[in-house]
Amino acid sequence: DAGVIQSPRHEVTEMGQEVTLRCKPISGHDYLFWYRQTMMRGLELLIYFNNNVPIDDSGMPEDRFSAKMPNASFSTLKIQPSEPRDSAVYFCASSFTGNEKLFFGSGTQLSVL
Amino acid sequence: DAKTTQPPSMDCAEGRAANLPCNHSTISGNEYVYWYRQIHSQGPQYIIHGLKNNETNEMASLIITEDRKSSTLILPHATLRDTAVYYCIVIIWRTYKYIFGTGTRLKVLA
């Protein structure tokens, strides 16, 4: 198994631009999580899905952030418009019912200039 | 969810056991203790978890005190590749809302 796949690995954009981060969970996993990591705030849970349905989005910082999971094998996290304070590493993770372990991707390093 | 307290950093000599403590004095009866680690620039990796009994797997051992207010992760023979940030998390079974704290930065010294 290839594990959780995130793309792009690095993203550099200018303030005000739309940014889309992508995630492919491990096949068969029914939970998907988006985390953000910064030096100041550590690892923060943004949102998680179960069977493609958002369960808890209380960690999403503001309306500029949105996440979708159109099917079991794909999810996106979109930031529109992006701001410099959004610069961080964004991780996607997946799990499956009864397992309780999170499997993380390699992350997307986002820099907003 | 119960909060955890971990020392910010620790050093360990290569080949020696690394003992990483975690305090979770407000843990409730249905909360499990999980340990993850994050090697520089990678995503966190699951290590081990337990409820009240001690647990061991190929990576580490987990010792939970009888009152469950604290636990210790033991890496029996630390190697340089074990240098990482180690996170202790308590979570209700099947709630999936993992909250990562600041963790312990373990440095294994040659």
Q: Taking 70 as the threshold, does the pLDDT of residue A1 lie above it?
A: no
Mean pLDDT score, B67-89:
96
Residue whose entry in the numeric block shows the structure tokens 């303030």: A15
Residues with Cβ within 8 Å of residue A89, at least 6 apart in sequence: A36, A37, A38, A107, A108, A109, A110, B41
Q: Which of B44, B96, B102 sits opposite A104 (nearest CB)?
A: B44
Cα distances (Å, whole numbers) of residue B1 to B25, B50, B66, B106: 12, 16, 20, 25
CB of A50 closer than 8 Å to CB of A58: no
Say yes or no for a CB contact (<8 Å) between B44 and A103.
no
DSSP conformation letters of B89-108: EEEETTT--------EEEEE
Do B99 and A31 make contact, defined as CB atoms within 8 angstroms?
no
The answer to whether residue B80 scores a pLDDT higher than 60 is: yes
- Beta-carbon contacts below 8 Å between A and B: 51
Does the distance separating the beta carbons of B49 and A104 come in below 8 Å?
no
What is the pLDDT at residue B95?
80
Interface probe for B, chosen from A5, A34, A35, A43 (most Cβ of B below 10 Å), is A43
Q: Give mean pLDDT, residues B60-89.
A: 96
pLDDT in tens, A6-26: 999 999 999 999 999 999 999
Question: How would you label A39-75 residue by residue, b for 16+ Cβ within 10 Å and e otherwise?
Answer: eeebbbbbbbbeeeeeebeebbeeeebebebeebbeb
pLDDT the model gives residue A2: 82
Query: DSSP for B6-55?
Result: --SEEEEETTS-EEEEEE-TT--TTEEEEEEEE-TTSPPEEEEEESSS-E
**Residue B7 predicted with pLDDT over 60:** yes
Q: What is the DSSP letter of A26?
A: P
> Cβ distance A45 to A101 under 8 Å?
no
| pLDDT band, very low/low/confident/very high, at A73 (cuts 50, 70, 90) | very high
Q: In terms of CA atoms, which chain A residue is nearest residue B92? A: A100
Strand pairing class (A53-56; A108-112): unpaired
Tell me, what's the pLDDT at A62? Answer: 85
pLDDT confidence of residue B98: 87
| pLDDT value at residue B45 | 96
Q: Is the pLDDT of residue B93 over 80?
A: no
> Is A84 in a helix, a strand, or coil?
helix
pLDDT for A28-40, tens place per residue?
999 999 999 999 8
Q: Tell me the shortest Cα–Cα distance from B36 to chain A, in angstroms.
A: 9
CB contact under 8 A, A33 and B96: yes
Take residue A27 and report the two structure tokens written for it. 């096949």
Of B44, B93, B96, the CB nearest to A95: B96
Give me the pLDDT at residue B2, please: 59
The closest alpha carbon to A107, from B12, B61, B39, belongs to B39
Could you read off the pLDDT of A52-69 as tens digits, one per residue?
999 999 999 889 999 999
